[in-house]
Amino acid sequence: MILLKCFQEDAHFKRIRDPLDQEPAKTPEKIPAENLQQEWFLEFLGQGRELFRIYLVNFWLKLLTLGFYHPWAKARLFRYLYASTRLYDTDFQFHGNGRELFTGWVKALLALILLEGFHQIVAELIRQRGIDSEPGVSGGHEWSFWLDTANLVFYLFLFFLFFMIALVGVRRYRLSRTSWRGIRFRFDGTLVEISKLMIRGWAITLISLGLLYPLHRHRFQEYWVSRTRFGSSRFYYEGTPSELFPIWIRGFLLSLISVGVYSFWLRAGLQRYFWSRTRLEQAQLACNLHGWPLFRESMIYVFFLIFSCGFARPWADERYNRFYLSQFGFVQAPDLEAVIQTASVESGSTGEGVSSLLDLEF
Amino acid sequence: MPQSWDAKYFDGKSPQSMLVRLQLLPKGVMLHFMDGRSQHWKHESFSIVRDRESGPVRLLRGDFPQETVEIPDHSFAAILEQKGWSGKGWRTSWKQKSISVFAAIVLFSGILYWILDPEKPGITRWMVQWIPVSLEEQLGEMALTQLFPNRQTCSTPKGDRALETFMLSLIPRDDPYRYNIEIIRSPQVNALAFPGGKLVLFSGLLKSLPSPESLAGILAHEIQHVRLQHGTQNLMRQLAFSGMVKLMASDSGAFLEQMLEGAKTLAILNYSRSFETEADLGAAELLKQQGFSQDFLVQAFRAFENNKAVLDSAVPQYFSTHPDLNERIKNLENQNRSLESSGTGKILNPQSWKELKNICANVNSP
């Protein structure tokens, strides 16, 4: 209770020393409390006991159906979580359903089985011809080593492809099924564009041994945000790599020195930066997330899980979501009169299926 | 009870809301707008959604753009339930819940029984036959590396030749597996079989065996574990078990995943009593098929039975996880009596046996 009281007071945050607060004040990252319109910040209204009921029913039905109920369980949970998230005076709504998620899951499973089967057949053919993959061993052939290598590279390429499908697919599906005040969100990014961006970004990061990662991160954020729509309104990202670089470098080095503990401050700093450089048309977004509360709440969440062997997860989720979502919102109210519904972008759920199968959480 | 409620109406074309007065009719609802307009929604034209127990009830009409009416008053939900109108997110009845819980308990018990009772491997045996040999080889290699990452493998040119001769005479030509035997320098009196054909023999066991025939018996037994896919069946069981635990922990089990990873590897080698008996009897048939005496394994068992030094040693692992020795000897002798006379072939000449026994001579003690 004392902890809960503490983080409700903005004054408490100001007393905590955070090196990222010493950034040049060109565009302030830390918004004074009196300028925030609290009603335009997200609010989580979910309750632990309601979440517990959902988790329990989902668990038993998944067991009863040997896991086939998973897509419906996911849809049910999403519907609840979205409906428990309020902005201003209206809750969000999730329009997806279990049938769509199941279809996507089946498509993803078929694709994975086909590709894994192909990979295994190739490996089996190589083996059955009696080719030893280790060069130099008596009876072996060196070219089989290259065959095995080509097979491995193909396998890795497929995994990369699936990862990209999941990354884009999840965002496109979830945004297309999300509405606020009846208006749907949308993501216009494409698989090809994202793949090119990621390959370039990973290459730059690898070559520079991580030093140029902020450049990749900036490009990714710019693409990710600028392709997101709320009805006819667009999101804009106005950050620059030069502003991001010192935040990243300082956070990264301190995280290394602190064996990862400072990563919470880095994450909070990045979120504050990204949100402060994002707007929905003319409405500036805001984030008041700081390192220490994030660290504290994350540790409390983990302790909840460990000491209850996972059974207290609903209450841990309630607490954490209530804290986390309340840090994000708008500096000023967006102009709702200018927003209109636009034509829906049909989005399949194969990306969701892939992310479920590969256990990727975005 | 009031029959009209304040509600918010969204036309689905803009985010602007309109305040309406919602009136409940016998077969639908009537919306009264502030500007005097009214809209009648028939019951079959809209769906009712309540995604959160303490949240508003939503009436949704149309597909895209979708009209929405939000009624925050909880008494509206109570009235709908009285009328028997339900929708997504409505609570299931106690009867439905009881049936599903009961069915889940029955199914859960059945699955647990299948998983935990290794004496009934019927389902897993059927399933593992579809697993390709190459995948089993990969599994075996991974398990071996995980269990013995820093192993010291014994090898001398003469010892390797003797071992190759030994294995060639023991393994049938049409065997689908490519067997690869490693002798690891260790005082353990043990031999292990991994999926895919990887066999491990510890130098402690090799030293304690009195004859090549007894080694043939032991290896024939391990080969049967491979051919009958016992390790793969164990892994499948373990995967099913860990999958269930993951379900119960609601996918929050990163910690559990770590624990289960180690358990999975060891579980591959934890053969049940029925698997051991199967391997024993299969070994006798394999030896006969290759022209050797079915009694080789019995010879090995008798050698250990009489060798108190081995049995009393600190590491009699080979036998500590296996069924009772006397029972195994009895089972084998019963089977051997029912089979035709066995062959009398010699598996290895004395010189080769000596070279094989000295295979670890060049490797320093761990």
In a domain, A76, yes or no: no
Q: Choose the closest CB to A182 out of B15, B51, B178.
A: B15
Q: What are phi and psi of B210, to 5 degrees?
A: -85, -20
Strands A283-287 and A278-280: antiparallel
In a domain, A37, yes or no: no
In a domain, A96, yes or no: no
B230-272 pLDDT, tens per residue? 888 887 777 666 655 555 544 444 544 544 555 556 666 667 7
Please judge whether B14 and A310 are an interchain contact, meaning their C-beta atoms are less than 8 angstroms apart. Answer: no
User: Which residues lie below 8 Å from residue A192, measured CB to CB, with a gap of 6+?
Assistant: none
Say yes or no: B168 contacts chain A, CB-CB below 8 A: no
Write the ipTM. Answer: 0.76
Both tokens assigned to A133: 């993959």
Q: What are phi and psi of A259, to 5 degrees?
A: 55, 40
Say yes or no: A77 contacts chain B, CB-CB below 8 A: no
Q: What is the mean pLDDT of residues B63-73?
A: 89
For each successive 10 residues of chain A (362 residues), what is the average pLDDT? 33 32 36 57 93 89 81 93 93 91 87 79 69 47 70 80 87 92 92 92 90 92 94 94 92 90 94 94 92 94 88 92 94 87 74 76 66
In a domain, A314, yes or no: no
Say yes or no: A130 contacts chain B, CB-CB below 8 A: no
Both tokens assigned to B50: 């309540």
In a domain, A82, yes or no: no
B268-298 pLDDT, tens per residue? 666 777 788 888 888 888 888 888 887 788 8
- The whole-number pLDDT of residue A264 equals 94
Q: Is the pLDDT of residue B135 over 70?
A: yes
B198-208 pLDDT, tens per residue? 999 998 888 88
Directed axis angle between helix B325-338 and helix B273-289, to 10°?
40
CA distance A326 to A4: 13
CA distance A355 to A362: 8
Say yes or no: A183 contacts chain B, CB-CB below 8 A: yes
Burial code (b: 16+ CB inside 10 Å, e: under 16) for B62-84 equals eeebbbbbbbeeeebbebbeeee
Nearest to A288 by CA among A3, A18, A2: A18
A331-352 pLDDT, tens per residue? 888 888 888 888 765 677 878 8
User: Which chain A residues are within 8 Å of B178, Cβ to Cβ?
Assistant: 127
In a domain, A326, yes or no: no
Number of domains in chain A: 1
Q: How far is A17 from chain B (nearest CA, A)?
A: 32
- The whole-number pLDDT of residue A107 equals 87
**Which domain covers residue A202, as residue numbers?**
113-253+354-362
CA distance A205 to A211: 7
Q: Are A285 and A221 in contact (CB under 8 A)?
A: no
Strands A183-187 and A283-287: unpaired
CA distance A249 to B23: 61
Q: CB count, 10 Å around CB of A142? A: 12
Q: Over chain A, what is the mean pLDDT?
A: 81
The answer to whether the peptide bond before residue B350 is cis (omega within 30 degrees of 0) is: no
Nearest to A347 by CA among A112, A171, A111: A171
State which residue of chain B sits closest to A180, comparing Cα positions.
B15
Say yes or no: A315 contacts chain B, CB-CB below 8 A: no
State which residue of chain B sits closest to A68, comparing Cα positions.
B247
Domains in chain B (CATH in brackets) are 4-83 (2.30.29.30), 123-357 (no CATH)
Nearest to B100 by CA among A51, A76, A58, A64: A64
What one-letter code names the amino acid at B206? L
Say yes or no: A339 contacts chain B, CB-CB below 8 A: yes
User: Which chain A residues are within 8 Å of B252, Cβ to Cβ?
Assistant: 305, 310, 313
Q: Choose the closest CB to B249 out of A94, A179, A310.
A: A310
In a domain, A12, yes or no: no
User: Which chain B residues are within 8 Å of A63, Cβ to Cβ?
Assistant: 104, 107-108, 111, 244, 247
In a domain, A79, yes or no: no
CA distance A160 to A241: 26
Residues across chain B? 366
Locate the DSSP E strands across A26-120: 42-44, 85-87, 90-94
